[in-house]
Amino acid sequence: MADRLTDAEIRNITKLLEEGKPLDDKYRYLLFENNRQLELQWYGKSYNYENITLPFQKVEHIDEPRSEEEIRSQMSLFDSKGEKISDWSNKLIWGDNKYIIPSLLRGDISYEIELHGGIKLIYIDPPFDMDENFYDSVKVGGAELEKEPTMFEKFAFADTWFQGEDSYVQYIHERILKMYSLLSEDGSFFIHCDYRVAGKIRMILDEVFGEENYVNEIIWQGARGDTSSKNKKFIKSHDTIFFYRKNASDFIWNDVFQEYSEGGKKAYNKKDSRGTYRLAPIDNPGGGGYIYDLGFGEKVPKNGYRMPIETAKQWIDDGILNVEKGKVPGKKIYLEESEGVRCIDVWTDVPSIQGNEHLGYPTQKPLKLLERIISATTNEGDIVADFFGGSGTTADAAERLNRKWIVSDIGRFSNNVMRKRMIETQRNLKNEDKKFRAFEILSVGSYIAKDETGNEHKEYAEKILEGYNADLIDDEIFDGIKKERLVKVGPVDYPFSYELFENILNYCLKKNITSCDLLSFEFGMNMIPEAIDFAKSKGVDISLFQIPSEVFDERVIKNFEINFNEVGYLEAKTIKKKNKISIELTNFIISYSQQSKDFIKNNLQSNKSKIIIDGGMLTKLTNKKGVIEEEVIQTKWTDWIDYWAVDFNYNDREELVLSYDGDVLKQESTGRFIFDNEWQDYKTKIKDELILTSAEKEYVEKGEYTIAIKVIDIFGNDTTKLLKVQI
């Protein structure tokens, strides 16, 4: 180091350090070896991010889209169900990818990934700005309601944007670093972005992957911007997709082709007298014979369309053409003999979402876009991952192309969209007599130690308790007390997991506590049958309440009462015919409030209206010159349900996880059960009414069975009920 610094520079550095002043950037290059000459810098930049390995809970298994009227029992757990113990089930994960990615790298699922060759492709389409993915519209009866983000989503994206661009690039940098570690050595990485972040992301990718592993900047001309003439600029018409490989010398590549242009098709229809087209000599493209383009060249008057030299050379390499210098190739070429032209990096042939493909999800990308990426960089049976799953296009394309997949998203609404989409894809593939894989739905568990011992949790819990009108207490587990009921505030950035619930229940049993309230922004999937019923059987009365978003708004806390909503309640009954059972859904109640009604009334502008949910009622508020009018919009209980499913034997599928005992890979039971999705019905864009009675299940063996009924509301929240039946 000393030989790179002059005496004056050493004195200057020493003086700056003694005075606690920052060093000039030039010293960074002089002091540290292997520095980059060009690097993106921002406040808080780090290469040592927190990498917590959290447990996954497998909450639902979907292996065959059963729509028949009668369902026969299987004689054993893995007979004819589409999955063997050692086989692969695709994975749809709910949670923050900040924790999901390192947990896939080191947790129990990492063994499965390793056994199946690792993740060969990661494609992500992260948010471009802070409003993206927040506000979706959902239908409730005949009304359109703006679905606000959950606090779980708000916290995640607030972390992304709280310092503007600095925190956004920090957010992206952390996740790209983690994905790089998860990607197999011969894997490929694609990130979809637009003009707002493309330049910064390119520099991050060069740092993480290395400039030598850059492959393409793909221009997708399918994303149209505002075409209004008020915008005095060129109309936005494209997004950017960056393509990197983890290893420039070890990768998977399959040529993909773009279809012939209309020009090429017209040229084909104008055959000469011999019914063929001749090519000009390669070294003289303007010379004799006919010349034409196979997809994107310039039109040549009279003689047709110019063929790109690159394509001609590829045909020579592939043996399609025999060419001698100065001579027209003798072989007659029909346009049908080639798959098309090798794909270029400007994709004008992939239109935006059209027709029935559109699911109403705001950031949905076309299936063709992902099919091209997956086809080019993976082989059948490879694992494809997407950690901003959105509407599930990556999973859909992977399933159709016989690839395995792992997708995740932080939103419950998104996960329900993907669940329904993949069931539809399973059904379509089954009807076409094609293969499809089972998939399972997982949630990521809580990092209990951080939430129970950290001061940060105590400060956050105090704020929640204030809104809940509970008093703060000093206890190793519980945070407060309200009318003799102890209160536990769940984590701020994780769902309230079953593991955390088990800790609390065991503590209650140890301390003879008979009642408590659990508060959380999100509860883990399948929490209700597992938690509530099991606790009651042990003599502990536990209630679950969702924390409303207004709890952090000082104006609301000081002036209005805040509603903490109990989780949904559903009613169902069994219809028994000898040894056959069907389930009828009879009622569903939510106490959900999206915003404080009083707060909205006090802040609604004149001549404006807003539809809100208040205590499970759809209410339209209108400010007519300072007078607030309320109109309750009539709804049916079925309007709040988006999806429901039945597991006719809830205790027959144990949750199994992989672990190593020395060098031996073994499977162990967690003691929990997975909801085995045997029958389901749901709303779609063209079907807004539910079937309220399930198919019949025929039970072969006598005995007592536990039936689980799962309902998912229009916001993606799940509620489950358990019924006992004797055969």
Distance, in Å, from the CA atom of 540 to the CA atom of 519, rounded to the nearest integer, reads 16
Decide: 342 and 255 in contact? Cβ < 8 Å: yes
Does pLDDT of 265 surpass 80?
no
pLDDT of residue 608: 85
Query: What single letter denotes the amino acid at residue 76?
Result: S
Binned at pLDDT 50, 70 and 90, residue 55 comes out as: confident
Lowest average pLDDT, out of 508-517, 551-560, 710-719, goes to 551-560
pLDDT above 60 (res 320): no
The predicted-structure confidence for 332-378, as pLDDT tens digits, reads as follows 444 344 456 788 999 988 988 877 788 877 788 999 999 999 999 99
Q: Which residue has the tokens 């009866």?
A: 141
> Two tokens at 654?
């144990």
Average of per-residue pLDDT across 90-104: 92
Contact 305, 286 (CB under 8 A): no
Q: How confident is the model at residue 101 (pLDDT cuts 50, 70, 90)?
A: very high
Residue 277 is predicted with a pLDDT of: 37
Mean pLDDT to the nearest integer, 443-471: 71
Of the chain, the percentage scoring pLDDT greater than 90 comes to 34
What would the CATH number be for the domain defined by 56-64+84-214+354-444? 3.40.50.150
* Distance from C-alpha of 198 to C-alpha of 202, rounded to nearest angstrom: 6
Q: Indicate if the alpha-carbon torsion angle 419, 425, 426, 431 is positive or negative.
A: positive
User: Per the structure block, which two tokens stand in for 218?
Assistant: 């793909």
Beta strands 183-193 and 119-124 are parallel
- Tens of pLDDT, residues 377-418: 999 999 999 999 999 999 999 999 999 999 999 888 899 999
Residue type, 466: E
Q: Quote the CA–CA distance of 422 and 93 in Å, as a whole number.
A: 13
Across the chain, mean pLDDT equals: 78
Residue range 647-693, pLDDT digits in tens: 999 888 888 877 777 777 788 887 788 899 999 999 988 888 999 99
**How wide is the angle at C-alpha 372 spanned by C-alphas 370 and 377, nearest 5°?**
95
Other beta carbons less than 10 A from residue 446's beta carbon: 25
Helix axes 165-182, 198-209, angle to 10 degrees: 40
Best CA proximity match to 89, nearest among 128, 58, 44, 50: 58
620 pLDDT higher than 50: yes
Residue 279 has pLDDT above 60, yes or no: no
pLDDT-derived band at 530, boundaries 50, 70, 90: low
Rg from Cα positions in the chain = 30
Q: How confident is the model at residue 225, as a pLDDT?
A: 67
Res 205: pLDDT: 95
Which helix H or strand E contains 418, and what residues bound it? helix 412-431
Hey, where are the domains in the chain?
A: 2-31, 56-64+84-214+354-444, 448-547, 569-726
pLDDT in tens, 537-553: 899 999 888 887 677 66
- Confidence grade of residue 123 (pLDDT, cut at 50, 70, 90): very high
With cut-offs at 50, 70 and 90, classify the pLDDT of residue 450.
very low
Q: Which stretch, 261-265, 411-415, 498-502, 520-524, has highest mean pLDDT?
A: 411-415
Are 518 and 544 contacting, i.e. CB atoms less than 8 angstroms apart?
A: yes
Contact 588, 638 (CB under 8 A): yes
User: Model confidence over 1-43: pLDDT tens digits?
Assistant: 445 677 777 888 888 888 877 776 566 556 665 555 677 787 7
Other Cβ atoms within 10 Å of 253 Cβ, number:
12
pLDDT band at 590 (very low <50, low <70, confident <90, very high): confident
Please give the pLDDT value at position 25. Answer: 58
Contact 333, 277 (CB under 8 A): yes
User: What is the residue type of 568?
Assistant: G
pLDDT in tens, 427-446: 888 888 888 899 999 988 75
- Strand partners for 373: none
pLDDT at residue 247 is higher than 80: yes
DSSP 453: H
d(CA 306, CA 286) in angstroms, rounded, equals 9
